[in-house]
């Protein structure tokens, strides 16, 4: 990895964020998380009257639904922010007319994407912290915190999200579209990855589909580190599964991205 490219990418991203939209993106992301938490609160207290079925408790491995849903919504916020901004980097370069000059520069893809991922992760941590404070007002409680599990969950989640963002970036750059592709993916993630309810409530085919998206295990690992519910062996198994999925996405995404870049440049030249 080229450390100079890595640092320059972070510096560029932070400067753009501060000068172009220092507040709007942060407020919008926090509001999205707030509405998800509010929707879960209203459904739980006014639609389900604060009661959970035995099957739900068995699959969720907790009786605290609000904490379960809030952790899921915070992770969803993290997913959207990291995947969206990392995957949109090259198509943004294309739209701004700088993609060709970027390709002519000493461009190291790994350093470039890792720099964007690091910058976005640092910024998103602040937004997620604010959303977590809001969640406390709706009943968010950390019942069984495990620092070791938390560090592992964060690390593996970012690893998986990075791989997912590469694949999404390939789709965006090839189709020259961000709106349909990103929102379709995020809607699917919200449905099949257990954000506000256990994936076991879905038909089996959708459960299988959710299992091949690295978000599902990442959310489960994060819940386990904050709320408990998994043994050490179960946590290790899910962690290994998340690592394998993330590796598959990265190994497939890097060469695919390079191929899509050539297609995008050819289209630019007519």
Q: Where are the domains of the chain?
A: 3-268
pLDDT at 23: 67
DSSP state of 142: -
pLDDT at 245: 95
Q: Find all residues with CB under 8 Å of 9, minimum gap 6, and list them.
A: 111, 112, 114, 115, 116, 119
Tell me the mean pLDDT per 10 residues along the chain, length 270.
Answer: 80 77 70 83 84 85 90 89 82 80 77 87 84 89 91 94 91 86 90 91 92 94 92 94 95 90 74
pLDDT at 37: 86
d(CA 45, CA 50): 5
d(CA 61, CA 54): 10
CA angle at 226 for the pair 221 and 231, rounded to the nearest 5°: 55
List the structure tokens of 125.
């941590």
Alpha-helical segments (H) within 43-98: 54-60, 65-87, 89-96
* pLDDT tens column, 86-140: 888 888 888 877 877 777 777 777 888 888 888 888 888 888 888 888 899 898 9
With 0-12 / 13-18 / 19 or more C-beta atoms within 10 angstroms meaning exposed / middle / buried, residue 80 is buried
pLDDT at 25: 67
pLDDT at 221: 95
Q: Is 263 helix (H, G, I), strand (E, B) or coil?
A: helix
């Amino acid at each position: 990895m080229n450390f100079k490219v890595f640092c320059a990418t972070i510096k560029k991203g932070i400067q753009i964020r501060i000068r172009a939209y220092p507040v709007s993106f942060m407020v919008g992301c926090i509001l999205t998380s707030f509405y998800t938490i509010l929707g879960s609160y209203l459904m739980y207290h006014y639609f389900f009257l604060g009661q959970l079925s035995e099957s739900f408790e068995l699959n969720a491995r907790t009786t605290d639904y609000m904490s379960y849903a809030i952790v899921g919504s915070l992770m969803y916020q993290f997913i959207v922010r990291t995947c969206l901004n990392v995957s949109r980097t090259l198509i943004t370069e294309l739209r701004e007319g700088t993609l060709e000059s970027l390709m002519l520069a000493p461009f190291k893809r790994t350093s470039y994407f890792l720099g964007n991922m690091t910058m976005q992760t640092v910024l998103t941590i602040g937004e997620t912290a604010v959303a977590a404070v809001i969640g406390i007002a709706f009943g968010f409680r950390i019942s069984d915190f495990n620092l070791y599990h938390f560090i592992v969950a964060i690390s593996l989640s970012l690893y998986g999200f990075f791989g997912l963002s590469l694949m999404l970036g390939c789709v965006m750059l090839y189709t020259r579209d961000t709106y349909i592709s990103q929102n379709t993916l995020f809607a699917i993630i919200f449905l099949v990855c257990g954000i506000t309810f256990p994936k076991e409530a879905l038909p089996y085919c959708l459960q299988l589909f959710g299992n091949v998206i690295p978000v599902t295990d990442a959310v489960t690992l994060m819940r386990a580190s904050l709320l408990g519910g998994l043994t050490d062996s179960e946590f290790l198994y899910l962690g290994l599964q998340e690592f394998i999925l993330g590796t598959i996405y990265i190994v497939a995404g890097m060469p695919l991205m390079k191929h899509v870049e050539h297609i995008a440049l050819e289209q630019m030249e007519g």
